[in-house]
Amino acid sequence: MFPKKLDPDGEIVVEDSMGKSRFQWLQHFEDNPKRGILKFYVFDILYFNGFDLRPLELIQRKKILKALLPKLDNIFYSEHITQHGLKALEKAKQSGAEGIIAKRANSKYYSAKRSKDWLKIKLLQHQEMVIGGYTEPGGSRKGLGALLCGYYEGETLRYSGKVGTGFTESILKELTQKLEKLERKTSPFTDPPHEKSVHWVNPILVAQIKYSELTETNSMRHPVYLGLRPDKNAREVVLEIPQFETDAVAENKENMKKLDSGKLSNKENLPLKLTEAKAKELSNKVSFTNLDKIFWPKEKITKGHVISYYNEIADFILPHLLDRPESLRRTPDGLKSEGFFQKNVEGMVPKWIKTRKIKSDSKEESIEYMLCQDKDSLLFMANWGCIEINPWASRVGSINNPDFIIFDIDPKDAPLGNTIKTALKLKEVLDALNVKGFLKTSGGNGLHVFIPVLPKYSYEQTRNFSHLISQMVHKQLPGITSLERMPAKRKGKVYLDYLQNGRGKTMASIYSLRPRPNLGVSTPLDWNELSDSFDMNEFNYFTILPRLAEKGDLWKEILKDPMDLKTVLNGLR
């Protein structure tokens, strides 16, 4: 690899297509060498031609290294900046990096020895986590060993790792006393860890945790306990992951290349950037703010663009939102942060916005949900940072009886061809039952199929039907599909997620933007569009308006002829 006389120092990493280092990918690179790009960043030199260069100053060593380092694929000279350390740290934070290394310019190279001349400055993530159990203490520690923590995904509590550091003796004593009162016999987690001497507890307490990063199974690396959050309701704790940190980045980057080359669309078709003067013409009820805030940095798409988009798309999206409670996914900083979900809007929205109190399955009290009944309400949501719109599958008046049976075809890291094959097999099964399915993109990498159903059946009944049909599809495509919930058990397979049929569960609405790098829009499709030339990335902010001008709303009459579930089930007997 290198000339025999050159002895460098550096770090081997595996990067995704956006240039972000993936620690887990490196650990399992031998098992999956095609995943990511293997790179070696060379940042120092120890010897050359028999001479020990370690006593030289760092700047001198780097000058020698840069002059001698051969030009090889995947071998990179690690650049540096002098001074401006705080700016470098802020840049690392904005890019999602783990941190920076700070070195004295005149420092020597010490082998097998730590030195204050080199400092690792980490940027840690913070997250609320629900405590679902704890382990017995080991050694001289008293009270507890580690907290077993997790987060809610819908109605289920997911395990996300154990936290064994950050405690003082007094904290351990206080925590143990609180947790002993909450003990139960069974695990509250749907995927409990295999730990010895575990005490399970009712998942009521919320802890603030800092960690370096999340693994692919959403487990925390290097977690540290910071304290309890008595102000947080455990049922509202969800995983806060930036949407751009997904396996979709490769497709997103390719999409941006197409956009730059003009293959997707030209910008004459786009919603115009919203000015303050224009904003006043859109609504006399909504006070628009921060119109120039950047939501998509690379494309310079602003909050004003998003508001303008929903103004243009309002006539098409509103019929699919009327009378449906909204679970507000608010991303007020665009792609810079992961955003958050908000369900309860009591006392937070103007009086002219219609709301409805709905009793939660898990709580005694009711939650006041927002309804999106008109364009003003839609634009209010956009101004609130709702890039994505998430309505219920049922409407007020029949809130426990959904209008749709949903099939979420989630490819994760499966090939696009397998996603298409799965969707077409689902259509084949539905056609045999004389059931019409309406197809759309998810706005990401997946496909959704909605079946309109008479709103007289429960969510459990519609979920069971989706499960039954999904089993039929899986039986015919066992090699490429899976019904396993755990990602680790379905690697490379298309997940048939029938569990999306649940009271209060939501999916991105048709015509909804998605806060992802490719500016995807959940777009209705003709089934005959699923061909070899199908490209998921062509359905986005840049293409949806011209497409609507050409095709109209393919879902316009989705509720015109709803299915009677009992009739279809009787036909299966």
Q: What is the mean pLDDT of each run of 10 residues along the chain (573 residues)?
A: 70 81 69 84 86 87 87 87 74 70 85 73 80 90 92 93 88 92 94 90 93 80 87 88 37 38 40 69 88 89 92 92 94 88 90 91 78 95 95 94 94 90 94 93 94 94 92 93 84 90 91 92 94 87 85 90 88 68
Q: What is the pLDDT of residue 478?
A: 92
Q: What is the pLDDT of residue 318?
A: 95
Nearest one of 58, 50, 42 to 115, comparing CA atoms = 58
Q: Which residues sit opposite 183 in a β-bridge? A: 201
Going 76 to 79 to 85 to 87, the CA torsion angle's sign is negative
Q: What is the pLDDT of residue 181?
A: 94
CA distance 323 to 356: 9
CA distance 49 to 128: 54
CA distance 98 to 218: 16
Entry pTM:
0.55
Nearest-5° angle of CA 243, CA 249, CA 253? 125
Q: What is the pLDDT of residue 244?
A: 32
**Candidate CATH numbers 1.20.1540.10, 3.30.470.30, 1.10.600.10, 3.40.50.300; the one for domain 6-122:** 3.30.470.30
- Using CB atoms within 10 Å of the CB of residue 238, give its burial: 0 to 12 exposed, 13 to 18 middle, 19+ buried: middle
CATH class of the region 272-383: alpha beta
CA distance 125 to 42: 27
Going 165 to 171 to 177 to 178, the CA torsion angle's sign is negative
Instruction: Tell me if 272-383 shares its fold with 404-572.
Output: yes
One-letter amino acid identity for 460? E
DSSP 379: H
Q: What is the CATH number of domain 125-236?
A: 2.40.50.140
Contacting residues for 189 by C-beta, under 8 A, at least 6 apart:
132, 133, 148, 150, 157, 158, 159
Number of C-beta neighbours around residue 320 at 10 A:
21
Instruction: Tell me if 275 sits within 8 A of 304, measured CB to CB.
Output: yes
CA distance 124 to 25: 20
Q: What is the pLDDT of residue 259?
A: 37
Q: What is the pLDDT of residue 239?
A: 87
For the domain made up of 404-572, give the CATH fold: DNA primase, PRIM domain (3.90.920)
Domain locations in the chain as residue ranges? 6-122, 125-236, 272-383, 404-572
- Using CB atoms within 10 Å of the CB of residue 303, give its burial: 0 to 12 exposed, 13 to 18 middle, 19+ buried: buried
The DSSP code sequence of 5-72 is TEEEEEEEEEE-TTS-B-HHHHHTTTT-TTSSEEEEEEEEEEEETTEE-TTS-HHHHHHHHHHH----
Judged by DSSP in three states, 140 sits in coil
Q: What is the pLDDT of residue 94?
A: 66
Q: Which residues sit opposite 6 in a β-bridge? A: 48
DSSP 273: P
Q: What is the pLDDT of residue 395?
A: 95
Instruction: Tell me if 295 sits within 8 A of 335, measured CB to CB.
Output: yes
